[in-house]
Each structure stands twice: as C-alpha cells, then as structure tokens.
Homo-oligomer: A and B are copies of this chain.
Amino acid sequence: MNIYDIAELAGVSIATVSRVLNDSPNVAEKTKLRVRGIMEEQGYVPSGFSRGLGLNAMKTIGLICPDAADDYMAKVVACLEGSLRDYGYDCILRCSGYSYEDCQIAVSALLRCRVDALVLIGSVYAADDPDDPRVNYIREAAAQAPVFMVNGYVRGENIYCAVCDDYHASRSAAAEMIASGRRKILFLTDMDTVSTNLKRKGCEAALAQAGLKLQGDVNVGLSNQINQTRDYLLKLTDLDVDGIFAANDALAAGAMKYAKRKGLSVPGDLCIIGYNNSELSVCCDPELSTIDSRERRLCQIVADFLKLHLSGRQGGGKVYAKGYLIRRGTTDF
C-alpha cells in the first residue's frame, strides 16, 4: 500500500494525497476527510518521501526536446503534458536545440529550476554506446532528479528509458524491400543521431544478409525541408537507386518530389519508405509507406515509469516498443 494506491482508491491525484498529508489549505475539507478515511482503512503509513511530494516538492516536471516545432516532438510534448497533468504535475518546457553543448545547458538550466523530474525527448540526448562518458551529464543530472528518456537510452541509476526499436524496425522493412527485388538502396537522413544510426545499421544488416551494401548514404544536412531534399538529390548526378529508406517522412516526401522531377514511377522505378507516420505521409500522392515509431506508446511507458517512481515502487530501466512498417502506396510488398 503506497501513495499511488491511496490516490487510486480515493480517485484523486498523487499530488492531492500528498497535500492531504501536508494538511495543505488548498484541499477541500471534504476531500481531506475522504482521503484520510481511506488511509486509515488501508492502514497506510506515509513515507517521508510521500510527504515530500507536497506543495513545493514534486510539482513540476521538466520537458526538454531539441525543437518543439518538429512534428514528432510536438506530438510527444502534447501527449506527455496531458498525461502528466492528469497526475497533477505541471510541465516546464525547454527547447534545447541539437548541439551537445546546448543539450547540456538545457539540462542544467532545468535542474536549477528545481524540477522534480526531467523528461528528455529524442535520441539526441543519448549516445550510441549507453556507457559513453559523453552522456555523463545525464548521469549527473539523474543524481539530482530522476531522468526519463523518450527514444533515448543512457545506462545509469535513476534513469528510465522508453525506446522504439529503430534497428529492428528498419532492418525488417529494408529486408522486405530487398526481398521485393530492390538492390540499390539509398539511406537518406538530415542529421546524425543515435536513432538515425540505428536505422542505418538496420538497413545495412538487411543488405549484408543479402550480400549487399548501401548504394548510397546521403545526409542532406537540413532539418525537415521537403523541397531542399528534392533539390539536394537532383544535384547528385550519379544517383542510381531503386529504393530509398528515409529517416523521417519529410525526407521521404522530398524523395518523392525528386522522383517526380526525374520522371521515375513510385513505387515501380523507386520504392520509398519514410519514418514516423506523420500527416505528411498521408498527404503525399501516392501515400507514403512509413514506419510507425510508436511515440504514443513511448509516452505511455514514460508516464507509467513516472507513476511507479513516484509511488516508490521498483521498475524502470529500459522498455522497448516495437516499430513497424505501415504499407501504403510507395512500396509494392
């Protein structure tokens, strides 16, 4: 029996139970009586930790993402804000940008705000090797407040990660592309993050199994710009590919516009797979086949981690969600 069970039985938030424990004036007397009644019934003895959840502690969760305007991150921010609000927490949002230095600055700035937990959104905060000393700043942050990561993994105490299995999702989609007869596959990205690297490795593994290599590995070096991606590909005069695996849907949409300019039929001459199942993917004509990167599921896992953590239960570490290909009009398998 812990604070979370009491909150559930009383039909109030953990924060409210904590306020009752602290006899806060911000809780109605009626509610106080009901919550106290349930505590008595259940023989609940509050821990110091639970008392600490009161008015000043455990009120605010810091959300950090590189760019809240990015479609994927916007969806994650909105989803988490909703779940955490349901648990009685406010969210401070900070957009860090993508550079290593800026990410460090954002994390330490939010710790100075004395947030009660940090949620880091996106693999930009992780490293290819979860023990990499470059991400020691995350481990140091976790010594001050629990850290929850959405699609990033750093090994350490007090760090809880929900991760889409980008490697296997990509490997399996690329394997199908190869089985359908494609041999000259281009990997297309706009940024090198841990997640991008896993997608690339997944493709490479599928190709290796068929005795093949990537036909090309292009980083357009821009963030989600459809027409810039098209123009970048048009300038590559020696481009000879029959399949494109793009690290996000905007890149894939750019690849479709490239195909159109070149007079290539999709998926006949060129099959294309995107990533993230964004609105762009259904806007394209034909509709884009894309990998569902399960952002809603990742948010749910993180919210559950937070719930467990706040209730003092064990749990956490790393949980995977399985990404999978949504077959639409740009693939023929």
A interface residue numbers (CB < 8 A to B): 60, 63, 67-71, 74-75, 77-79, 81-82, 85, 90-95, 113, 224, 226-227, 250, 253, 257, 260, 279-280, 282-285
Task: List 7 interface pairs A-B (beta carbons < 8 Å), by A numbering.
Answer: A63-B93, A69-B75, A69-B77, A69-B79, A81-B94, A224-B279, A226-B279
When the two chains form their complex, are residues B69 and A282 in contact, meaning their CB atoms are under 8 A apart?
no
What's the number of copies of this chain in the assembled complex? 2
Which residue in chain B gives the minimum CB-CB distance to A257? B285
The 9 nearest A-B residue pairs measured at CB: A74-B74, A69-B78, A68-B78, A93-B93, A283-B283, A69-B75, A253-B283, A226-B282, A280-B283
Distance (whole angstroms) from the CB of A43 to the closest CB of chain B: 33
Q: Enumerate chain B residues within 8 angstroms of A79, measured Cβ to Cβ.
A: 69
Residues of chain B within 8 A (CB-CB) of A94 are: 81, 85, 90-91
Q: Across the two chains, which residue of chain B brings its CB closest to A112? A: B26
Q: Which residues of B contact A226 (CB under 8 A)?
A: 279, 282-283
**Contact at A77–B93, with CB atoms within 8 Å?**
yes
B contact residues around A63 at 8 Å (CB): 93
A77 to B284, CA, bound (A): 26
The residue in chain B whose Cβ has the minimal distance to the Cβ of A250 is B279
A67 cross-chain contacts in B, Cβ below 8 A: 78
CB distance from A73 to the nearest CB of B (A): 8
Q: How many angstroms from the CA of A250 to the CA of B279 in the assembled complex?
A: 8
In the assembled complex, which residues on chain B have CB atoms less than 8 Å from the CB atom of A95?
A: 78, 81-82, 85
Residues of B close to A77: CB separation below 8 A: 68-69, 74, 77, 93
CB distance from A119 to the nearest CB of B (A): 12
Name the distance in Å between A74's Cβ and chain B's nearest Cβ. 4
In the bound complex, CA of A283 to CA of B284 (Å): 6
Return chain B residues, CB-CB under 8 Å to A282: 226-227
Q: Cβ of A74: which chain B residues have Cβ within 8 Å of it?
A: 68-71, 74, 77-78
Q: How far is the CB of A49 from chain B (nearest CB, A)?
A: 23
Task: State in angstroms the CA–CA spacing of A226 and B287 once bound together.
Answer: 11
- With a CB–CB cut-off of 8 A, which chain B residues contact A283? 226, 250, 253, 280, 283-284
Which of these, B93, B113, B279, B285, contacts A280 with CB under 8 Å?
A: B279
